[in-house]
Structure 1
Amino acid sequence: MKFTIPSARPGMILAAIGFALAVSTVAQPTPARAFDAAQKSEIEGIIREYLLANPELMLEVQSELEKKQEEQKKLSQAKTLSEMKDQLFSSEHQVEIGDPNAPVTVVEFFDYNCGFCQRALADMNKFVEEDKSVRFILKEFPVLGEASLQAHKVSQAFNRLMPEKAGEFHRLLLGAPGRKDGEVALKVGESLGADRAALKAESEKPEILDGLKEAYRLADGLGITGTPSYVVGDEVVFGAVGYDALNVKVANLKSCGKTVC
Protein backbone atom coordinates (compact mmCIF):
# COMPACT_ATOMS: atom_id res chain seq x y z
CA MET A 1 0.00 0.00 0.00
CA LYS A 2 1.36 3.43 -0.98
CA PHE A 3 1.18 6.59 1.12
CA THR A 4 1.36 10.09 -0.34
CA ILE A 5 1.14 13.67 0.89
CA PRO A 6 -0.73 16.08 -1.38
CA SER A 7 1.28 19.11 -0.20
CA ALA A 8 3.64 20.19 2.61
CA ARG A 9 1.82 22.37 5.12
CA PRO A 10 2.26 22.89 8.87
CA GLY A 11 0.63 20.03 10.73
CA MET A 12 0.60 17.78 7.65
CA ILE A 13 3.29 15.52 9.06
CA LEU A 14 0.96 14.43 11.86
CA ALA A 15 -1.92 14.00 9.45
CA ALA A 16 0.24 11.93 7.14
CA ILE A 17 1.41 9.65 9.90
CA GLY A 18 -2.12 9.30 11.21
CA PHE A 19 -3.42 8.54 7.73
CA ALA A 20 -0.73 5.95 7.18
CA LEU A 21 -1.52 4.25 10.46
CA ALA A 22 -5.27 4.32 9.87
CA VAL A 23 -5.12 2.96 6.34
CA SER A 24 -2.69 0.25 7.37
CA THR A 25 -4.99 -0.81 10.22
CA VAL A 26 -8.06 -0.94 7.99
CA ALA A 27 -6.24 -2.90 5.32
CA GLN A 28 -4.99 -5.56 7.72
CA PRO A 29 -6.98 -8.45 9.23
CA THR A 30 -7.72 -8.54 12.95
CA PRO A 31 -5.60 -8.68 15.02
CA ALA A 32 -3.54 -5.96 13.30
CA ARG A 33 0.04 -6.82 12.53
CA ALA A 34 3.04 -4.51 12.52
CA PHE A 35 4.12 -2.59 9.43
CA ASP A 36 6.34 -4.59 7.16
CA ALA A 37 9.75 -3.31 6.07
CA ALA A 38 8.44 -1.68 2.89
CA GLN A 39 5.68 0.18 4.73
CA LYS A 40 8.09 1.40 7.42
CA SER A 41 10.48 2.61 4.74
CA GLU A 42 7.71 4.47 2.95
CA ILE A 43 6.48 6.17 6.13
CA GLU A 44 10.03 7.19 7.01
CA GLY A 45 10.38 8.62 3.52
CA ILE A 46 7.22 10.68 3.95
CA ILE A 47 8.50 12.11 7.22
CA ARG A 48 11.91 12.86 5.73
CA GLU A 49 10.44 14.62 2.71
CA TYR A 50 8.21 16.72 4.92
CA LEU A 51 11.03 17.77 7.21
CA LEU A 52 13.23 18.69 4.26
CA ALA A 53 10.42 20.77 2.80
CA ASN A 54 9.62 22.37 6.18
CA PRO A 55 12.89 22.64 8.14
CA GLU A 56 11.36 25.32 10.38
CA LEU A 57 9.46 22.50 12.06
CA MET A 58 12.71 21.42 13.68
CA LEU A 59 12.94 24.81 15.38
CA GLU A 60 9.47 24.26 16.82
CA VAL A 61 10.49 20.81 18.03
CA GLN A 62 13.67 22.22 19.58
CA SER A 63 11.68 24.97 21.28
CA GLU A 64 9.24 22.47 22.76
CA LEU A 65 12.10 20.23 23.88
CA GLU A 66 13.83 23.12 25.63
CA LYS A 67 10.57 24.13 27.29
CA LYS A 68 10.04 20.58 28.54
CA GLN A 69 13.62 20.34 29.79
CA GLU A 70 13.24 23.64 31.63
CA GLU A 71 10.05 22.41 33.28
CA GLN A 72 11.79 19.19 34.33
CA LYS A 73 14.73 21.18 35.70
CA LYS A 74 12.38 23.37 37.76
CA LEU A 75 10.70 20.28 39.19
CA SER A 76 14.08 18.75 40.07
CA GLN A 77 15.19 21.99 41.71
CA ALA A 78 12.03 22.24 43.80
CA LYS A 79 12.37 18.60 44.86
CA THR A 80 16.01 19.10 45.85
CA LEU A 81 15.28 22.32 47.76
CA SER A 82 12.58 20.48 49.69
CA GLU A 83 14.24 17.11 50.29
CA MET A 84 17.84 18.29 50.82
CA LYS A 85 17.13 21.42 52.85
CA ASP A 86 19.37 20.34 55.73
CA GLN A 87 22.32 19.60 53.46
CA LEU A 88 21.84 22.93 51.71
CA PHE A 89 21.46 25.18 54.75
CA SER A 90 22.82 23.29 57.77
CA SER A 91 25.71 21.15 56.57
CA GLU A 92 28.78 20.63 58.73
CA HIS A 93 30.89 21.03 55.58
CA GLN A 94 29.88 24.58 54.72
CA VAL A 95 31.24 27.98 55.70
CA GLU A 96 28.88 30.74 56.79
CA ILE A 97 29.68 34.43 56.48
CA GLY A 98 27.45 37.06 58.03
CA ASP A 99 24.98 37.00 60.89
CA PRO A 100 23.96 33.34 61.44
CA ASN A 101 20.50 34.58 62.45
CA ALA A 102 20.02 36.74 59.34
CA PRO A 103 16.55 36.22 57.83
CA VAL A 104 17.85 36.02 54.25
CA THR A 105 20.32 33.34 53.13
CA VAL A 106 22.25 33.25 49.87
CA VAL A 107 23.95 29.94 49.08
CA GLU A 108 26.94 30.21 46.74
CA PHE A 109 28.59 27.32 44.89
CA PHE A 110 32.17 28.27 43.98
CA ASP A 111 35.57 27.01 42.86
CA TYR A 112 38.77 28.55 44.23
CA ASN A 113 40.17 28.82 40.69
CA CYS A 114 37.07 30.38 39.18
CA GLY A 115 37.89 33.90 38.00
CA PHE A 116 34.25 34.96 38.10
CA CYS A 117 33.98 33.65 41.67
CA GLN A 118 36.96 35.78 42.59
CA ARG A 119 35.23 38.85 41.17
CA ALA A 120 32.01 37.90 42.96
CA LEU A 121 33.86 37.92 46.28
CA ALA A 122 33.35 41.69 46.39
CA ASP A 123 29.59 41.18 45.98
CA MET A 124 29.45 38.90 49.00
CA ASN A 125 31.57 41.27 51.07
CA LYS A 126 29.31 44.19 50.21
CA PHE A 127 26.21 42.26 51.24
CA VAL A 128 27.45 41.12 54.64
CA GLU A 129 29.09 44.47 55.43
CA GLU A 130 26.16 46.69 54.43
CA ASP A 131 23.14 44.47 55.12
CA LYS A 132 23.08 42.55 58.38
CA SER A 133 19.88 40.79 57.30
CA VAL A 134 21.80 38.72 54.71
CA ARG A 135 24.17 35.83 55.31
CA PHE A 136 26.11 33.72 52.81
CA ILE A 137 26.56 29.96 52.91
CA LEU A 138 29.55 28.83 50.87
CA LYS A 139 29.56 25.49 49.08
CA GLU A 140 32.89 24.41 47.64
CA PHE A 141 32.29 22.95 44.19
CA PRO A 142 35.72 22.22 42.65
CA VAL A 143 35.11 21.67 38.95
CA LEU A 144 38.24 23.20 37.43
CA GLY A 145 40.74 20.39 37.75
CA GLU A 146 43.18 18.81 40.16
CA ALA A 147 44.49 22.09 41.58
CA SER A 148 40.98 23.06 42.65
CA LEU A 149 40.45 19.66 44.24
CA GLN A 150 43.68 19.93 46.25
CA ALA A 151 42.81 23.45 47.39
CA HIS A 152 39.38 22.18 48.40
CA LYS A 153 40.84 19.39 50.54
CA VAL A 154 43.08 21.80 52.44
CA SER A 155 40.22 24.26 52.81
CA GLN A 156 37.97 21.59 54.31
CA ALA A 157 40.78 20.53 56.62
CA PHE A 158 41.28 24.11 57.79
CA ASN A 159 37.55 24.49 58.42
CA ARG A 160 37.63 21.40 60.63
CA LEU A 161 40.70 22.49 62.60
CA MET A 162 40.07 26.24 62.85
CA PRO A 163 36.38 26.91 62.12
CA GLU A 164 36.53 30.31 63.81
CA LYS A 165 38.80 31.55 61.01
CA ALA A 166 37.08 29.77 58.11
CA GLY A 167 35.64 32.97 56.67
CA GLU A 168 39.00 34.70 56.76
CA PHE A 169 40.66 31.70 55.10
CA HIS A 170 38.03 31.75 52.35
CA ARG A 171 38.53 35.43 51.58
CA LEU A 172 42.31 35.12 51.52
CA LEU A 173 42.46 32.01 49.34
CA LEU A 174 39.78 33.03 46.86
CA GLY A 175 41.21 36.53 46.62
CA ALA A 176 44.80 35.35 46.11
CA PRO A 177 46.29 35.88 42.64
CA GLY A 178 47.24 33.04 40.34
CA ARG A 179 46.43 29.35 40.40
CA LYS A 180 45.25 28.02 43.75
CA ASP A 181 46.33 24.47 44.64
CA GLY A 182 47.06 22.53 47.80
CA GLU A 183 50.37 24.26 48.41
CA VAL A 184 48.89 27.74 48.12
CA ALA A 185 46.06 26.72 50.44
CA LEU A 186 48.54 25.35 52.98
CA LYS A 187 50.42 28.67 52.98
CA VAL A 188 47.20 30.59 53.54
CA GLY A 189 46.38 28.27 56.42
CA GLU A 190 49.83 28.76 57.93
CA SER A 191 49.45 32.55 57.67
CA LEU A 192 46.36 32.26 59.87
CA GLY A 193 48.12 30.21 62.52
CA ALA A 194 47.47 26.63 61.40
CA ASP A 195 50.14 23.99 61.91
CA ARG A 196 51.23 22.95 58.42
CA ALA A 197 51.83 19.28 59.24
CA ALA A 198 48.51 18.92 61.05
CA LEU A 199 46.67 20.73 58.26
CA LYS A 200 48.21 18.55 55.58
CA ALA A 201 47.49 15.36 57.53
CA GLU A 202 43.86 16.39 58.01
CA SER A 203 43.51 17.16 54.30
CA GLU A 204 44.57 13.62 53.41
CA LYS A 205 41.91 11.85 55.47
CA PRO A 206 39.35 9.97 53.33
CA GLU A 207 36.39 11.66 55.01
CA ILE A 208 37.65 15.08 53.91
CA LEU A 209 35.83 14.45 50.62
CA ASP A 210 32.43 14.04 52.29
CA GLY A 211 31.65 17.70 51.71
CA LEU A 212 32.56 17.41 48.05
CA LYS A 213 30.23 14.45 47.58
CA GLU A 214 27.42 16.32 49.28
CA ALA A 215 27.97 19.42 47.14
CA TYR A 216 27.90 17.35 43.97
CA ARG A 217 24.61 15.71 44.98
CA LEU A 218 23.10 19.12 45.63
CA ALA A 219 24.44 20.54 42.38
CA ASP A 220 23.08 17.60 40.42
CA GLY A 221 19.59 18.07 41.81
CA LEU A 222 19.70 21.84 41.32
CA GLY A 223 21.03 21.65 37.77
CA ILE A 224 24.26 23.43 38.68
CA THR A 225 27.19 22.64 36.41
CA GLY A 226 29.42 25.70 36.78
CA THR A 227 30.52 28.42 39.17
CA PRO A 228 29.52 30.72 40.61
CA SER A 229 25.92 29.63 41.08
CA TYR A 230 23.56 30.77 43.79
CA VAL A 231 20.43 29.67 45.59
CA VAL A 232 18.34 32.66 46.62
CA GLY A 233 15.04 31.69 48.18
CA ASP A 234 13.46 29.15 45.86
CA GLU A 235 15.44 30.28 42.81
CA VAL A 236 18.71 28.94 41.40
CA VAL A 237 20.79 31.71 39.84
CA PHE A 238 23.53 30.79 37.39
CA GLY A 239 26.65 32.86 36.81
CA ALA A 240 28.27 35.96 38.27
CA VAL A 241 25.21 38.18 37.88
CA GLY A 242 26.64 40.89 40.13
CA TYR A 243 25.59 42.65 43.30
CA ASP A 244 22.72 44.67 41.83
CA ALA A 245 20.94 41.67 40.30
CA LEU A 246 21.32 39.63 43.49
CA ASN A 247 20.17 42.56 45.59
CA VAL A 248 16.92 42.82 43.61
CA LYS A 249 16.18 39.19 44.44
CA VAL A 250 17.12 39.69 48.09
CA ALA A 251 14.91 42.79 48.33
CA ASN A 252 12.00 40.88 46.82
CA LEU A 253 12.50 38.06 49.31
CA LYS A 254 12.22 40.55 52.14
CA SER A 255 9.16 42.15 50.57
CA CYS A 256 7.03 39.22 49.43
CA GLY A 257 8.92 36.05 50.31
CA LYS A 258 9.84 35.30 46.68
CA THR A 259 12.62 36.43 44.37
CA VAL A 260 10.03 37.75 41.90
CA CYS A 261 7.10 39.65 43.42
Structure 2
Amino acid sequence: MIAKTFAAALMVSGLALASFPAAAQEVPLTPKQTEAVKKVVRDYLMEHPEVLGEALEALREKMRAQAEADAHKMLEARKDDIYKNADDPQGGNLKGDLTVVLFSDYNCGFCKQAFDPLWEAIKADGKVRVVIKEYPILGPDSVLAARVALLAKAQSQAKYDDIHRAFMKFRGRLDEKVIYKIAGEQGMNVEQLKKDIGGAELEKQLKKNFDLARSLDIGGTPTFIVGDRIISSALDQQTLKQLMDAARRTAAKQAG
Protein backbone atom coordinates (compact mmCIF):
# COMPACT_ATOMS: atom_id res chain seq x y z
CA MET A 1 0.00 0.00 0.00
CA ILE A 2 2.82 2.39 0.90
CA ALA A 3 4.65 1.60 -2.32
CA LYS A 4 1.45 2.29 -4.29
CA THR A 5 1.04 5.62 -2.53
CA PHE A 6 4.62 6.55 -3.34
CA ALA A 7 4.07 5.56 -6.95
CA ALA A 8 0.97 7.71 -7.01
CA ALA A 9 2.95 10.68 -5.71
CA LEU A 10 5.48 10.26 -8.47
CA MET A 11 2.65 9.86 -10.98
CA VAL A 12 1.18 13.18 -9.92
CA SER A 13 4.48 14.90 -10.53
CA GLY A 14 4.69 13.03 -13.84
CA LEU A 15 1.20 14.24 -14.87
CA ALA A 16 2.19 17.77 -14.07
CA LEU A 17 5.16 17.49 -16.37
CA ALA A 18 3.00 15.82 -19.01
CA SER A 19 0.86 18.97 -19.22
CA PHE A 20 3.76 20.71 -20.95
CA PRO A 21 3.86 20.50 -24.74
CA ALA A 22 5.81 17.56 -26.19
CA ALA A 23 8.63 19.81 -27.34
CA ALA A 24 8.97 21.22 -23.84
CA GLN A 25 9.22 17.74 -22.36
CA GLU A 26 12.40 17.16 -24.32
CA VAL A 27 14.03 20.06 -22.51
CA PRO A 28 15.86 19.08 -19.29
CA LEU A 29 14.27 20.15 -16.04
CA THR A 30 15.31 23.52 -14.78
CA PRO A 31 17.18 23.64 -11.47
CA LYS A 32 14.00 24.88 -9.82
CA GLN A 33 11.95 22.00 -11.25
CA THR A 34 14.61 19.49 -10.24
CA GLU A 35 14.58 20.77 -6.69
CA ALA A 36 10.79 20.55 -6.61
CA VAL A 37 10.87 16.88 -7.65
CA LYS A 38 13.58 16.16 -5.09
CA LYS A 39 11.48 17.80 -2.39
CA VAL A 40 8.45 15.63 -3.24
CA VAL A 41 10.55 12.47 -2.96
CA ARG A 42 12.40 13.63 0.16
CA ASP A 43 9.22 14.68 1.96
CA TYR A 44 7.56 11.38 1.14
CA LEU A 45 10.52 9.34 2.39
CA MET A 46 10.67 11.37 5.59
CA GLU A 47 6.99 10.62 6.19
CA HIS A 48 7.31 6.95 5.18
CA PRO A 49 10.90 5.77 5.93
CA GLU A 50 9.71 2.15 5.84
CA VAL A 51 9.64 2.45 2.04
CA LEU A 52 13.45 2.35 2.10
CA GLY A 53 13.33 -0.97 3.94
CA GLU A 54 10.89 -2.34 1.36
CA ALA A 55 13.12 -1.15 -1.47
CA LEU A 56 16.26 -2.66 0.08
CA GLU A 57 14.50 -5.98 0.64
CA ALA A 58 13.30 -6.00 -2.96
CA LEU A 59 16.85 -5.24 -4.12
CA ARG A 60 18.29 -8.04 -1.98
CA GLU A 61 15.75 -10.49 -3.39
CA LYS A 62 16.52 -9.42 -6.94
CA MET A 63 20.25 -9.80 -6.35
CA ARG A 64 19.74 -13.22 -4.71
CA ALA A 65 17.63 -14.44 -7.64
CA GLN A 66 20.21 -13.17 -10.13
CA ALA A 67 23.07 -14.82 -8.24
CA GLU A 68 21.13 -18.09 -8.16
CA ALA A 69 20.45 -17.90 -11.88
CA ASP A 70 24.12 -17.17 -12.61
CA ALA A 71 25.17 -20.11 -10.42
CA HIS A 72 22.81 -22.47 -12.26
CA LYS A 73 24.27 -21.42 -15.60
CA MET A 74 27.83 -21.92 -14.39
CA LEU A 75 27.02 -25.31 -12.84
CA GLU A 76 25.73 -26.42 -16.22
CA ALA A 77 28.68 -24.96 -18.10
CA ARG A 78 31.25 -26.62 -15.80
CA LYS A 79 29.43 -29.89 -15.09
CA ASP A 80 32.15 -32.08 -16.60
CA ASP A 81 34.81 -30.41 -14.45
CA ILE A 82 32.59 -30.73 -11.40
CA TYR A 83 31.48 -34.34 -11.77
CA LYS A 84 33.76 -36.12 -14.25
CA ASN A 85 37.34 -35.35 -13.26
CA ALA A 86 38.86 -38.83 -12.93
CA ASP A 87 41.61 -37.52 -10.64
CA ASP A 88 39.17 -36.43 -7.95
CA PRO A 89 38.82 -38.66 -4.88
CA GLN A 90 35.40 -40.31 -4.72
CA GLY A 91 33.36 -42.20 -2.18
CA GLY A 92 29.92 -43.47 -1.37
CA ASN A 93 27.99 -45.35 -4.02
CA LEU A 94 29.91 -44.75 -7.25
CA LYS A 95 26.83 -45.85 -9.23
CA GLY A 96 24.42 -43.77 -7.18
CA ASP A 97 21.65 -41.64 -8.64
CA LEU A 98 22.97 -38.41 -7.08
CA THR A 99 26.42 -36.85 -6.66
CA VAL A 100 27.39 -34.55 -3.79
CA VAL A 101 30.53 -32.47 -4.34
CA LEU A 102 32.54 -31.05 -1.46
CA PHE A 103 35.29 -28.39 -1.55
CA SER A 104 37.31 -28.71 1.65
CA ASP A 105 40.52 -27.80 3.47
CA TYR A 106 42.16 -30.00 6.11
CA ASN A 107 42.83 -27.04 8.40
CA CYS A 108 39.23 -25.84 8.22
CA GLY A 109 37.43 -26.43 11.52
CA PHE A 110 34.03 -26.29 9.85
CA CYS A 111 35.14 -28.92 7.31
CA LYS A 112 36.03 -31.21 10.22
CA GLN A 113 32.68 -30.42 11.82
CA ALA A 114 30.91 -31.43 8.59
CA PHE A 115 32.89 -34.67 8.12
CA ASP A 116 30.83 -37.11 10.23
CA PRO A 117 27.40 -35.71 9.24
CA LEU A 118 28.32 -36.00 5.55
CA TRP A 119 29.35 -39.64 5.71
CA GLU A 120 26.50 -40.56 8.03
CA ALA A 121 24.05 -39.05 5.53
CA ILE A 122 25.75 -40.86 2.64
CA LYS A 123 25.68 -44.20 4.48
CA ALA A 124 22.04 -43.78 5.51
CA ASP A 125 20.98 -42.91 1.96
CA GLY A 126 22.99 -45.61 0.19
CA LYS A 127 22.58 -44.13 -3.29
CA VAL A 128 24.85 -41.09 -3.24
CA ARG A 129 28.28 -40.65 -4.79
CA VAL A 130 30.65 -38.14 -3.21
CA VAL A 131 33.36 -36.18 -5.02
CA ILE A 132 36.01 -34.42 -2.94
CA LYS A 133 37.65 -31.29 -4.34
CA GLU A 134 40.85 -30.59 -2.44
CA TYR A 135 40.70 -26.81 -1.93
CA PRO A 136 43.55 -25.78 0.40
CA ILE A 137 42.91 -22.09 0.98
CA LEU A 138 44.25 -21.76 4.53
CA GLY A 139 47.96 -21.54 3.86
CA PRO A 140 51.01 -23.66 2.97
CA ASP A 141 50.25 -26.36 5.57
CA SER A 142 46.85 -26.91 4.00
CA VAL A 143 48.47 -27.17 0.57
CA LEU A 144 50.94 -29.73 1.89
CA ALA A 145 48.15 -31.81 3.44
CA ALA A 146 46.16 -31.72 0.19
CA ARG A 147 49.23 -32.81 -1.79
CA VAL A 148 49.85 -35.72 0.58
CA ALA A 149 46.20 -36.78 0.27
CA LEU A 150 46.35 -36.66 -3.53
CA LEU A 151 49.55 -38.71 -3.54
CA ALA A 152 47.69 -41.25 -1.41
CA LYS A 153 44.87 -41.19 -3.98
CA ALA A 154 47.43 -41.95 -6.71
CA GLN A 155 48.21 -45.18 -4.81
CA SER A 156 44.59 -46.15 -4.23
CA GLN A 157 41.22 -44.75 -3.24
CA ALA A 158 41.42 -46.81 -0.05
CA LYS A 159 44.73 -45.20 0.89
CA TYR A 160 43.23 -41.76 0.25
CA ASP A 161 40.24 -42.63 2.45
CA ASP A 162 42.59 -43.51 5.32
CA ILE A 163 44.63 -40.31 5.00
CA HIS A 164 41.56 -38.13 4.45
CA ARG A 165 39.84 -39.50 7.56
CA ALA A 166 42.99 -39.19 9.69
CA PHE A 167 43.50 -35.57 8.65
CA MET A 168 39.86 -34.70 9.24
CA LYS A 169 39.79 -36.40 12.63
CA PHE A 170 42.93 -34.64 13.85
CA ARG A 171 42.08 -31.88 16.32
CA GLY A 172 44.39 -28.92 16.06
CA ARG A 173 46.33 -27.40 13.21
CA LEU A 174 48.00 -29.71 10.73
CA ASP A 175 51.58 -28.53 10.18
CA GLU A 176 54.39 -30.21 8.27
CA LYS A 177 55.54 -32.32 11.21
CA VAL A 178 52.03 -33.57 12.02
CA ILE A 179 51.15 -34.18 8.37
CA TYR A 180 54.12 -36.44 7.75
CA LYS A 181 53.64 -38.17 11.11
CA ILE A 182 50.03 -39.05 10.25
CA ALA A 183 51.05 -40.14 6.74
CA GLY A 184 53.62 -42.51 8.22
CA GLU A 185 51.09 -43.88 10.68
CA GLN A 186 48.79 -44.61 7.74
CA GLY A 187 51.46 -46.69 6.05
CA MET A 188 52.85 -44.20 3.56
CA ASN A 189 56.58 -43.95 2.77
CA VAL A 190 57.41 -40.53 4.19
CA GLU A 191 60.78 -40.24 2.48
CA GLN A 192 59.20 -40.98 -0.89
CA LEU A 193 56.39 -38.53 -0.12
CA LYS A 194 58.91 -35.76 0.43
CA LYS A 195 60.46 -36.49 -2.96
CA ASP A 196 57.11 -36.54 -4.79
CA ILE A 197 55.37 -33.70 -2.96
CA GLY A 198 56.39 -31.00 -5.46
CA GLY A 199 55.15 -32.87 -8.52
CA ALA A 200 53.76 -30.90 -11.45
CA GLU A 201 50.68 -33.12 -11.69
CA LEU A 202 49.70 -32.25 -8.13
CA GLU A 203 50.08 -28.56 -8.91
CA LYS A 204 47.96 -28.98 -12.02
CA GLN A 205 45.18 -30.75 -10.16
CA LEU A 206 45.02 -28.19 -7.37
CA LYS A 207 45.04 -25.37 -9.92
CA LYS A 208 42.03 -26.99 -11.63
CA ASN A 209 40.17 -26.99 -8.33
CA PHE A 210 41.01 -23.35 -7.64
CA ASP A 211 39.98 -22.30 -11.16
CA LEU A 212 36.71 -24.22 -10.82
CA ALA A 213 36.02 -22.69 -7.41
CA ARG A 214 36.59 -19.18 -8.77
CA SER A 215 34.26 -19.79 -11.70
CA LEU A 216 31.54 -20.91 -9.26
CA ASP A 217 32.23 -18.00 -6.89
CA ILE A 218 33.30 -20.39 -4.13
CA GLY A 219 35.54 -18.57 -1.70
CA GLY A 220 35.30 -20.63 1.48
CA THR A 221 35.18 -24.13 2.89
CA PRO A 222 33.33 -26.33 3.35
CA THR A 223 31.26 -25.74 0.22
CA PHE A 224 28.81 -28.36 -1.00
CA ILE A 225 27.24 -28.75 -4.41
CA VAL A 226 24.00 -30.70 -4.14
CA GLY A 227 21.94 -30.75 -7.31
CA ASP A 228 21.58 -27.15 -8.44
CA ARG A 229 22.52 -25.70 -5.04
CA ILE A 230 25.89 -24.35 -3.89
CA ILE A 231 26.02 -24.12 -0.09
CA SER A 232 29.00 -22.75 1.82
CA SER A 233 28.34 -24.06 5.30
CA ALA A 234 28.97 -26.99 7.64
CA LEU A 235 25.78 -28.96 7.05
CA ASP A 236 24.25 -31.37 9.53
CA GLN A 237 22.92 -34.79 8.53
CA GLN A 238 19.27 -33.74 8.43
CA THR A 239 19.96 -30.71 6.25
CA LEU A 240 22.02 -32.84 3.87
CA LYS A 241 19.16 -35.32 3.61
CA GLN A 242 16.71 -32.53 2.83
CA LEU A 243 19.03 -31.12 0.15
CA MET A 244 19.54 -34.55 -1.41
CA ASP A 245 15.81 -35.24 -1.46
CA ALA A 246 15.16 -31.82 -3.02
CA ALA A 247 17.84 -32.44 -5.66
CA ARG A 248 16.21 -35.72 -6.62
CA ARG A 249 12.78 -34.10 -6.88
CA THR A 250 14.19 -31.35 -9.09
CA ALA A 251 15.97 -33.90 -11.31
CA ALA A 252 12.77 -35.98 -11.64
CA LYS A 253 10.73 -32.89 -12.53
CA GLN A 254 13.26 -31.82 -15.17
CA ALA A 255 13.33 -35.34 -16.63
CA GLY A 256 9.61 -35.73 -16.83
Shorter-chain TM-score bucket reads: 0.7 to 0.9
TM-score, length-normalised on structure 2?
A: 0.78
Matches within 5 A, 1:202-213: 202-205=196-199, 208-213=202-207
Matches within 5 A, 1:103-118: 103-118=97-112
Aligned to 1:3: none
List gaps (5 residues or longer) in structure 2: none
Instruction: Name which of structure 1's ranges 83-92 and 112-121 shifts more when overlaid on structure 2.
Output: 112-121
Aligned to 2:240: 246
Report percent identity of matched pairs: 26
8 A contact 1:124–1:136 mirrored in 2: no
Within the alignment, does 1:78 sit opposite 2:72 as a pair?
A: yes
Structure 1 residues 104 and 29 mapped into 2: Cα distance closer, same or farther (>3 Å)? closer
Within the alignment, does 1:185 sit opposite 2:179 as a pair?
A: yes
Aligned to 2:46: 52
Q: Displacement of 1:179 after TM fit?
A: 0.7
8 A contact 1:113–1:148 mirrored in 2: yes
CA displacement, residues 130-170 of structure 1 (integer Å, 9 cap, x when unaligned):
54422211122334445434433443344345555112211
Q: Displacement of 1:42 after TM fit?
A: 4.2
List gaps (5 residues or longer) in structure 1: 1-8
Q: Displacement of 1:72 after TM fit?
A: 1.1
Q: Distance in 2 between matches of 1:135 and 1:53?
A: 57
CA displacement, residues 156-207 of structure 1 (integer Å, 9 cap, x when unaligned):
3443455551122111111111012444333333333333344334433455
TM-score, length-normalised on structure 1?
A: 0.77
8 A contact 1:156–1:203 mirrored in 2: no
Aligned to 1:4: none
Within the alignment, does 1:199 sit opposite 2:207 as a pair?
A: no
Aligned to 1:174: 168
CA displacement, residues 216-241 of structure 1 (integer Å, 9 cap, x when unaligned):
44444545443323222233344223
RMSD of the alignment, in Å? 3.3
SS at match of 2:113: helix
Q: Displacement of 1:64 after TM fit?
A: 0.9
8 A contact 1:107–1:230 mirrored in 2: yes
8 A contact 1:96–1:137 mirrored in 2: yes
Residues matched between the structures, number:
251
Q: Distance in 2 between matches of 1:153 and 1:65?
A: 43
The runs of at least 4 aligned residues of structure 1 exceeding 6 Å deviation read none
Within the alignment, does 1:228 sit opposite 2:222 as a pair?
A: yes
Q: Distance in 2 between matches of 1:45 and 1:211?
A: 60
Q: Displacement of 1:48 after TM fit?
A: 2.9
**Higher helix proportion, which one?**
2
Structure 1 residues 19 and 99 mapped into 2: Cα distance closer, same or farther (>3 Å)? same
8 A contact 1:95–1:139 mirrored in 2: yes
CA displacement, residues 5-49 of structure 1 (integer Å, 9 cap, x when unaligned):
xxxx64454444455556557378458233345544443343333
CA displacement, residues 58-117 of structure 1 (integer Å, 9 cap, x when unaligned):
111121112112211221222122111111111244210123222222212222122222
8 A contact 1:13–1:50 mirrored in 2: yes
